[in-house]
């Protein structure tokens, strides 16, 4: 590794905002600064909910202009969503938002010919109604789909506009439900039985692969001096966030917190058992041959929607009020798909408490405490279930992403899991993006070296578990310990990738970043 620090632009897109960060990497140096932040405002059209992809691209160009001269550019975003291009490379309409209702009932039709047990055994992906596979089946009868010659996942679409090249990055491709996690290649049998033409997809790319150079028009627009390479990173934001877990040799679980909570383990092989499917764990691919074995939990979306409904209260005061509310008074299932859609979240949480015979939260502080207790409980269940299903015990839980700013949630997670929690870095997805670029350009070592650099240069906070976990076990019994399965088989929880996120204001509730990813974070 050469000694002069280099600068890398990390384009980090979440479901409610995007930003361009600049990372500087050298021997013993890892610095990150924000160049530009811009909103991501989906638009509800007569035909449904759509992403404003042109506004996102304009934000990326503005961010690159603000970043100044850099040695490389990398892009990560949420998962599953995509754009369709015609034979001339023209985009066929705005990409559909994963929360759009077009996939309702689609999975059940597929299971009639491709049972969920077989689908999981082949792809290892948890059931979520918006997985790319179901989106494609929902679109199959449309003129847009009939005209499509190419499908590009959103980070690959933006890379295509920046460089003119086409590719499908592997960690994000693994969320489509069309990748075999054992071979790390397309699941040809699944595609054939589902009637999906894999020829729509561009060739697979690995994190670290070159993705072309910024086009002359982009250089002119941004004021950069070429050549400037674009480097393929772990373009699923959660995959980038997991790169930035500052773990050493300890056995660890991770939780990428934001609009979604992605909780699980880093493994060397997928877990494809029926028990794993029934528990709704997913096997998504990470860097360097790793598997992200995790469960998707609704995450801070619950609080974001409540804050929006309450009219932007002071978040600090709200969390202080929640800390004063007795713990575990009422809990909800943070994986219940009843909470997936936006709108009227405080009323829906109250109804869930009422239906389960628990005290109904009467104030914003009580509702907030209910949400945070419920998220900590969901984190506990996910960490415990992952260890059991994978035969992989852990000694510590690393929390990364925007939720690390929520000290009450971090402490409650330590209490619920009965394990120490190490919280940080907050900007995990952007840091993972930067580090993969740096390694590709000779400025960082392997995954272990990258994590050692993170541990030396970032300042995580450690939380020690307090109290007896017996009260958390009792709370679990109120609505059942594991996510419930539908009669057809798959589990009724949700996924994204979100991405690490954090509450700032109702218009941008997820980003310091959002989801889930938030993470996330699909």
Residues annotated catalytic, as ranges: 237
Q: Are 286 and 233 contacting, i.e. CB atoms less than 8 angstroms apart?
A: no
Measure the CA angle with vertex 271, ends 270 and 275; round to 5°: 160
Number of Cα atoms under 13 Å in the Cβ half of residue 380: 27
The three-state (H, E, C) secondary structure of 274-294, written as one string: HHHHHCCCEEEECHHHCEEEE
Residue 418's CB is within 10 A of a number of other CB atoms, namely: 17
3-state secondary structure 126-190: CCCCCCHHHHHHHHCCCHHHHHCCEEEEHHHHHHHHHHCCCCEEHHHHCCCCCEECCCCEECHHH
Six-digit token pair at 208? 């670290």
Cα angle 425, 372, 349 (rounded to 5 degrees) comes to 135
| Cα distance between residue 46 and residue 3, in whole Å | 55
CB 219 within 8 A of CB 139: no
* 36 CB-near residues (< 8 Å, 6+ apart): 19, 20, 59, 62, 63, 65, 66, 67
> What are the CA-CA distances from residue 278 to residues 113, 134, 475 (Å)?
19, 19, 21
Range 101-108, long-range pairs (CB < 8 A, 24+ positions): 101/48, 102/48, 102/135, 102/138, 102/139, 103/129, 103/130, 103/134, 103/135, 103/137, 103/138, 104/129, 106/134, 106/137, 106/138, 107/134, 107/488, 107/490, 108/488
Beta bridge partners of 465: none
């Amino acid at each position: 590794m050469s000694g002069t620090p280099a600068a890398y632009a990390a384009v980090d897109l979440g479901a409610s905002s995007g930003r361009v960060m600049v990372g500087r990497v050298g021997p013993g140096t890892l610095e990150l600064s924000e160049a530009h932040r811009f909103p991501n405002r989906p638009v509800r059209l007569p035909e449904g909910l759509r992403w404003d992809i042109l506004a996102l691209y304009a934000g990326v160009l503005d961010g690159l202009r603000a970043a100044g001269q850099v040695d490389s550019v990398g892009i990560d975003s949420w998962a599953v969503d995509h754009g369709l291009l015609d034979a001339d490379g023209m985009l066929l309409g705005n990409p559909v938002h994963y929360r759009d209702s077009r996939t309702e009932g689609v999975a059940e039709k597929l299971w009639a010919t491709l049972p969920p047990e077989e689908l999981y055994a082949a792809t290892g992906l948890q059931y979520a109604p918006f997985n790319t596979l179901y989106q494609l089946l929902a679109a199959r009868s449309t003129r847009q789909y009939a005209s499509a010659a190419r499908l590009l996942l959103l980070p690959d679409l933006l890379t295509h506009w920046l460089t003119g090249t086409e590719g499908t990055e592997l960690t994000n491709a693994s969320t489509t439900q069309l990748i075999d996690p054992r071979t790390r290649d397309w699941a040809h049998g699944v595609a054939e039985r589902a009637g999906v033409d894999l020829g729509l997809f561009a060739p697979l790319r690995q994190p670290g692969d070159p993705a072309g150079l910024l086009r002359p028009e982009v250089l002119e627009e941004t004021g950069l001096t070429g050549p400037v390479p674009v480097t393929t990173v772990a373009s699923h934001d959660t995959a980038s966030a997991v790169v930035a877990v500052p773990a050493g040799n300890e056995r660890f679980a991770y939780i990428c917190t934001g609009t979604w909570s992605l909780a699980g383990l880093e493994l060397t092989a997928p877990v494809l058992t029926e028990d794993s499917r029934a528990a709704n764990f997913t096997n998504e691919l990470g860097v360097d041959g790793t598997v992200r074995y995790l469960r998707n939990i609704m995450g801070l979306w619950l609080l974001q929607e409540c804050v929006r409904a309450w009219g932007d209260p002071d978040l600090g005061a709200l969390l202080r009020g929640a800390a004063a509310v007795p713990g575990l008074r009422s809990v909800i299932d943070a994986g219940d798909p009843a909470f997936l859609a936006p709108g009227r979240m405080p009323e829906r949480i109250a109804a869930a408490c009422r239906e389960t015979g628990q005290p109904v939260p009467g104030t914003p502080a009580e509702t907030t405490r209910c949400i945070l207790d419920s998220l900590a409980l969901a984190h506990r269940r996910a960490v415990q279930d992952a260890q059991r299903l994978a035969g992989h015990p852990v000694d510590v839980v690393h929390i990364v992403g925007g939720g690390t700013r929520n000290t009450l949630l971090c402490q409650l997670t330590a209490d619920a899991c009965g394990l120490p929690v190490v919280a940080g870095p907050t900007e995990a997805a952007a840091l993972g993006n930067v580090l993969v670029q740096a390694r590709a350009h000779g400025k960082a070592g392997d995954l272990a070296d990258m994590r050692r650099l993170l541990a030396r240069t970032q300042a995580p906070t450690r939380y020690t578990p307090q109290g007896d976990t017996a009260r958390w076990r009792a709370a679990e019994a109120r609505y059942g310990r594991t996510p419930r399965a539908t009669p057809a088989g798959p589990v009724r929880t949700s996924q994204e990738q979100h991405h690490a996120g954090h509450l700032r204001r109702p218009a941008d509730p997820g980003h310091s970043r959002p989801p889930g990813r938030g993470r996330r974070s699909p």
